[in-house]
Amino acid sequence: MDTELIAHVRKNDDGSWAVPHTLLDHSEGTAGLAELFSSKFHSGAWGKALGLSHDAGKGRLTWQQYLRSKSGYDVEAHLEGKLGKIPHAIYGAELAEQVFGKGIGRILAYCIAGHHAGLPDWSSAEGAGQASLQFQKIQVKDLEQIDARIIDNLRRVKPLNLPWKFDNGLDLSLWIRMLFSSLVDADFLDTESYMDHERGLNRGGYRSIPELHERFVQYCKELEEKSESTEVNEIRSRIQAKCIRAAKEKQGIFSLSVPTGGGKTLSSLAFALEHARIHQLDRIIYVIPFTSIVEQNAEVFRSAVGEDQVVEHHSNLDEDDTTAKSRLAAENWDAPVIVTTTVQFFESLFAAKPGRCRKLHNIARSVVVLDEAQLVPVEFLAPILETIQRLVDRYQVSFVLSTATQPAFTERNVDGQLFKGLKDVREIVGSEEEVKALYQSLARTRIQFPEDPYAHSSLEEISGELKQYEQVLCIVSDRKTCRELHELMPKGTYHLSALMCGQHRSDLILEIKRKLANHESVRVISTQLVEAGVDFDFPVVYRALAGLDSIVQAAGRCNREGKLPGLGKVVVFNPPRKPPEGILRKAAETTRNIIMNRGDITTNYAVFEGFFKELYWKANSLDKEGIVDLLDPTHNDLRECSIFFRTAAHKFKIIDDRNQKTILVRYKEGDRLIDRLQSTGPERWLMRKLQRFAVTVYESDFNQLTERGAVEEVYPQIFVLSSKEDYSEDIGVRIHKESEQEEQ
């Protein structure tokens, strides 16, 4: 082909055409970045091969003619998937298999074929149909059209040797996804440098880990000078010192078992910075179950290491609260400190879409702090634990399992069968006796279990007890019980549940904290949403029987600052309604089985391991969607490297929203934003802001609301509560008719 090969085109500000981005330059640029990224896990040559071949399909005469005639040098020429587009990705995939052979080439083919559309399934066996790699390969007819220069460059790549001997399970599929991440991030960055050079200049430029470590040391020194000399602060200092000592150990998996109030946030950061500095790691990633804790901890980290060094990545982010630089860093986690959610982190590790996978290569060579580790979803525990172990063994990642109730994640035999958990977990606090002593020294509450764990209390009985206290928090396990108990309480009692939008809950939580600080009367009925990340400090807490971890978390909202003359009072009761079916109910049953004759569990640390062991044994499955089988070629067809990436990504959903609907509500500013939505449409910035005014309801409740005309669909699959009358300042969305009558 004599004509110049073009990858992308764009116009200058004056409307003239810029010099085209040549295909050879783009391939070389992408290859260089992909090689750099994948070299972190000993796969640099593989990244280079992917970069050189990913756009090889653009090197055909038919595609070049298409670019010129269809676009007239329009920027849309780079986009795929629209009607009339000529595919190119599958041609690069087929070329790689032809050049490198079926084994190596097939691994490359998954990444190349999916670099725009996402990692494919191998075959249509799981329903992928024409999107499957197997089907796409059959459609390639004119491979010989690819320009010889592209093929020659590819053949010059040094031999591709496997970086290690792969085991069964997720080993191979995780490596392919890491290669895919290296490719798609490299492709995006090289394209951006041509299409929007100014945007690219906003990337990077962060401080090094040693510099952040220096800042943190200075911050802690200033904090210590200002702090009171109390027993609690002395304990926190000792915990932090142990974290710094443990950070000097070799990379691996660590546990940080510290009860509420022990200063886990700063101590874990002390470990992470010291560990990253010593082992020359690239970044620290905090993985936190709830956005409220993400925001709270991110503020602490910014104070410690610098406002512009910490990037939050979660769904509640308002673009007004972020910089252009931090928004870019959230795309590929190219920052020294990332704070994200459990959902974002683990769903990305099993994702297929380029946008979700792009950041994965930056998990390599990092410290990952898994906060509230006990909240890792049991139904996906098997693939999650195996992935954690693979990241440690293959990708220079160290994990810290940080929690007050350490789950039983370690590998062991259960009834003669291997529980494939984590290996060589090292406790930072020290021996079991040292951990036990720490829990005893920080004990601030006494938990009272019912004398008869099988006898139920009526809601009237519970409300009668709660009315005796001027300041009391009661936590239950479902929305209906929360609403019904709230209706039995005196006027002015607060209600907190997920039937309130995020902004509404935040407003009430601030109001409750203010009343607590001013020693005013304040009673709260809440679902479990306050059990982690909400720094309430009540003298009395009631908790409906639940998992032992939930009860201990609830206790963490009682006498939190240790200001009471004695221990805080935590009362566990049996409500008339059982917890929701599934793991929540099994957790409550497990607690009931082990609380007899166990003493005060606030200081009996060893009881947690027994609780989690029994809970995992009771679970129907630790891999309910069969994720490991979908991603393990030895369970499919090893000769074809048969992996079902897309199906696994579709099934790995930590929050199962298949039977749920999201409704936007007219609470405060939400009223104005919904009006804007109806007049201008769903602009990206607007939908971001509206996330604070969204409520998720079960489909049956949604249907009930729809039947009485309380919900309208303003745009396809965007639903809005029809009026302010359908949203109560007391309980949120009014689903039940009796609630409406009560309000009248």
Residue 389 has pLDDT above 70, yes or no: yes
Confidence (pLDDT) at 150:
92
pLDDT in tens, 284-303: 999 988 776 777 788 889 99
Amino acid at 394: R
Percentage above 70 pLDDT, the chain: 91
Please state, in angstroms and rounded to a whole number, the distance separating the CA atoms of residues 193 and 184: 14
Confidence (pLDDT) at 529:
87
Confidence (pLDDT) at 657:
64
Q: Find the distance separating the first CA and the last CA of the chain, reported in whole Å.
A: 79
Confidence (pLDDT) at 323:
64
Confidence (pLDDT) at 118:
94
pLDDT in tens, 680-730: 888 878 888 888 899 988 888 898 888 888 888 888 889 999 877 889 999
Q: What is the mean pLDDT of the chain?
A: 87
Cα Dmax for the chain: 89
Encoding tokens for residue 696? 């998720």
Q: What is the DSSP string of 547-593?
A: -HHHHHHHHTTBSTT--SSS-EEEEEE--SSPPPTTHHHHHHHHHHH
Residue 525 has pLDDT above 60, yes or no: yes
Sheet holding 283-288, edge to edge: 310-313, 337-341, 283-288, 366-371, 398-403, 253-257, 425-427
Q: What is the DSSP string of 290-346?
A: SHHHHHHHHHHHHHHH-GGGEEEESTT--GGGS-HHHHHHHHHT-SSEEEEEHHHHH
Mean pLDDT of 219-229: 87
Whether the CB-CB separation of 50 and 109 falls below 8 Å is answered with no
Lowest mean pLDDT among 156-165, 167-176, 314-323, 414-423: 314-323
Model confidence at 217, pLDDT cuts 50, 70, 90, reads very high
Please state, in angstroms and rounded to a whole number, the distance separating the CA atoms of residues 525 and 496: 6
Global pTM value: 0.88
pLDDT in tens, 579-631: 888 888 888 888 888 876 565 555 566 788 788 888 887 777 889 999 999 99
Residue with tokens 């592209």: 150
pLDDT in tens, 133-190: 888 888 888 888 899 999 999 999 988 899 999 999 999 999 999 999 999 999 999 9
Q: Looking at residue 70, what DSSP letter applies?
A: I
